[in-house]
Structure 1
């Protein structure tokens, strides 16, 4: 019986990491979509498929910010200050989102 309980705890823990990552990636996708799909006339030197890079890179950065939130949530359950963990997670998420946006738009809109 003890082995079954350990496997249930392990699957619950892995799901708790996926949910914040999906939420972080979703928020990042919405943010970058405002920039990418708001452009009407694109210069020819940007290329035909210039939108693909920002739509991949920025949500990946958002997912990493969500993973950091899950890590800090785990640390707060082990005794780390909960308020500090949430504030640190928010700061890291926004810095990561900004860096992901810059990296995604480098050479096109961020020039």
Structure 2
């Protein structure tokens, strides 16, 4: 018997969940570092104001990881060179984290 060469085999180029978790971890570390090194909060802010940036920024990082996964693994379908796809996904990741930090800190430190 000969093995079936038409069977679809998927090469493991990195799991989507792993890239999203790495992006979320980068976002969480970044916002935790910022919140720890920042000055004392304004007493007029709500009591649990810190929860908002701790949720939104890791979500933005996870979406950056999602974008990285699709751009790097499917760059051929879009018609991009792999190096351009990597650079573009890095730029999108940084912009996404920046927007996540703005949305997370809106009304508190970003005012």
TM-score where L is the length of structure 2: 0.82
Match of 2:99 in 1: 99
Structure 2 unaligned spans of 5+? none
Q: What does 1:61-80 align with in structure 2 at a 5 Å threshold?
A: 61-76=60-75, 78=77, 80=80
Bigger Rg, structure 1 or 2: 2
List, as ranges, runs of 4+ consecutive aligned residues in structure 1 with deviation greater than 4 Å.
none
| Match of residue 16 from structure 1 | 15
Equivalenced residues, count: 106
For residues 41 and 17 of structure 1, the distance between their equivalents in structure 2, rounded to whole angstroms, comes to 38
TM-score, scaled to structure 1: 0.82
Structure 1: gaps (5+ residues): none
Q: Once the 2 structures are TM-superposed, how far is the Cα of residue 75 of structure 1 from its aligned partner?
A: 1.4
Residues 48-99 of structure 1: per-residue CA shift (max 9 Å, x gap): 1111000000000000000000001221355631000001000000000000
Aligned-residue CA RMSD (Å): 2.4
